Amino acid sequence: MAKVLITYYSQSGNTKAMAKEVEEGAKLTGAQVTTKPVGQVSAKELLDYDAIIIGSPTYYGLPAAQIKKLIDESVEFHGQLTGKVGGAFSSAANIGGGNETTILAILQAMLIHGMVVQGTAAGDHYGPVSIEAPDNRVKMQSQALGKRVAELAIKLFG
């Protein structure tokens, strides 16, 4: 059974609320899903999962330093995440607020790890973006991300 990790940094609670929706979508597939804040995830632990989904508030068009710290520490295991599935989501203060670039920054780090990422033709293409607290659109997009990543992990890892 494919194992999915959802980790996030959240100050206002908006990114955490998105994580819950991503989790719900991932669980629909039957995958084994773990969700926890980034402070409780060690770089070594990333090796235990088939898929990793990271959420961050949009801080200056990039993931929060707390997220970046985990990414930097993962260099100790460089090469060992190859082939795992990745995904990303972000909450922001406003449209055009740097949310797409925050998501792409996380996806770029995942590509550099040799990971596999997938967009969607419907809606928030790179990953879900919430403007302030998640509304219905964001909830559906977040569930879709969880489902999409978990389904791809199941295809690749059973």
Residues that bind a second copy (CB under 8 A): 59-65, 68-69, 71-72, 74-75, 78-79, 81-83, 94-101, 103-105, 107-129, 131, 137, 141, 152, 155-156
State the nearest-atom distance from the C-beta of 29 to a second copy, in Å. Answer: 15
As a whole number of angstroms, the distance between CA 38 and CA 30 comes to 24
As a whole number of angstroms, the distance between CA 123 and CA 9 comes to 23
State the nearest-atom distance from the C-beta of 56 to a second copy, in Å. Answer: 11
127 alpha carbon, distance to own chain's centre = 8
Would you say 141 or 143 has its CB closer to a second copy? 141
State the nearest-atom distance from the C-beta of 30 to a second copy, in Å. Answer: 19
CA distances from 65 to 56, 60, 87 (A): 10, 11, 18
